[in-house]
Amino acid sequence: MEVEQNINLDKADKLKEEANEFFKKQNYVKAITLYSNAIECNPTSAVLYANRSFAYLKTECFGYALEDASKAISLDKTYVKAYYRRAASNMALGKAKLALKDYETVFKARPNDKDAKLKFNECSKIVRQQAFERAIAVDSVKKSVSESINIDSMTVEESYHGPHLVNGKVTSEFMQELMDAYRDQKKLHNKYAFQILLDVEELFKSQPSLIDVSIPDSSKFTVCGDIHGQFYDLMNIFKLNGLPSTENPYLFNGDFVDRGSFSVECIFTLFGFKLLYPEHFFMARGNHESQTMNQMYGFEGEVKSKYSKQMAELFTEVYNWLPLCHCLNQRVLVMHGGLFSRDDITLDDIRTTDRNRQPPEDGIMCELLWSDPQPMKGRSPSKRGVGIQFGPDVTARFLERNHLDYVIRSHEVKADGYEEAHDGKCITVFSAPNYWQVSSFLEYRSQVTCVLFTHKTTKVTADTCSGYQKES
């Protein structure tokens, strides 16, 4: 029996080393598989659970990451990395107070570790800020960030040679100059950046939580998935599929920012086109258009670095007004995440959902932003720790109840950039080809994936620009 255990331990170590190599290459899915195989060989290793927890964090499976980190701690209460992982999981789930306890444990164990101190201090600030906001919310109405901004007091210096708004408005010439400036890694002036945010906030405020979109016969309508701060891939979409216009409408389906290095450039480009073509360019909220995600995955820090804390706060306010989903020709529902924990949800329920807030932990808004499809029937707890996983029967019942043909969603990396599930009734499209920079995604990196919705196409096809074309 002892010989067999040693063989299993040796195999577990070998699998762990293989998994570590895939993790270094950012192939987190393969790493998770190998860590899981290693755990089967050695289920008593806290290191294996903590490593898999880290890989789950990278793939935003926060629920699984939390479970693994807790398991690692139960196996070895002195294993500091496990507390790190659990704290990061709780932060991603918006549970800062729970995260703070673990960051405090790490900081006490490693008082000279700069990163441990930084994480503990950042989390402490967030907890204090949340407590302060709860306190003032009881007795007063918080003044909006937009009300505190005075555009007229901002001066455009003569030394600024970037794009200029014309009478405070976005034009097609401005958008071309803006994209050219961003390609050269130049910056939009502070005054114009604030003007765009204030104007787009007013525009989103005027729109409902569910937007009905009419697409004329023989016209195409392009749906793009996650962009995640990849400006040059965004430019490639426009190069291959054409710039947005009244004749070439787009819907960008959430997660415009975070992870990528050019989130500011992506979001101002998208907001600019929204202002230029308000009836032909659409944007839906993703789970990363939230304060917690932006704090964890880079957007807040990028905005503060390129502009200011005040602008970062304004972005949070603007994101609260992003529509939650779109219905194309009363036939196709497009949302970032997925479907619901109840069968009785209707489109009218979505229309009446209050979205001007941070994403809640459950309910319609949460599930629209966070849920994922699963191959088996029924519903399951989410691998992310938020939302649910829903099966083909759930999709079929929702479509029948609401007289829809299928749903389009994003939210998940797919090796081909898109995936058809649930008998073709649930389509995932993901448009950030360098998201993990995984070697197995090399072929996909040469593509840009989006969806062309048309009336008269006859089959599903894939090419360098379109995820698929779906029969009406």
**Which residues belong to the active site?**
288
Helices (H), 380-447: 392-402, 442-445
What is the tally of helices (H) and strands (E) in the chain?
Answer: 18, 14
Neighbours of 77 (CB within 10 A): 11
Helix (H/G/I), strand (E/B), else coil: 282? strand
Task: Give residues with Cβ within 8 angstroms of 325, minimum separation 6.
Answer: 209, 210, 211, 284, 333, 334, 335, 336, 350, 368
Nearest to 448 by CA among 127, 194, 230: 230
User: How far apart (Å, rounded) are the C-alpha atoms in residues 414 and 399?
Assistant: 23
Enumerate the β-bridge partners of residue 283.
252
Task: Give residues with Cβ within 8 angstroms of 310, minimum separation 6.
Answer: 145, 148, 149
Nearest to 287 by CA among 376, 188, 387, 140: 387
Sheet containing 406-409: give its strands across. Answer: 210-213, 325-328, 332-335, 406-409, 426-429, 418-421
- Determine contact, residues 168/195, Cβ cutoff 8 Å: yes
Amino acid at residue number 91: M
User: How far apart (Å, rounded) are the C-alpha atoms in residues 106 and 96?
Assistant: 15
φ/ψ of 452, rounded to 5, equals -100, 110
- Determine contact, residues 12/42, Cβ cutoff 8 Å: yes
Question: Tokens representing 227?
Answer: 């962009």
Cα-based distances in Å from 319 to 153, 179, 200, 268, 352: 25, 22, 10, 13, 18
Q: Is the dihedral of CA 348, 349, 354, 360 positive or negative?
A: negative
Nearest to 38 by CA among 74, 13, 68, 63: 13
CA 158 to chain centre: 38
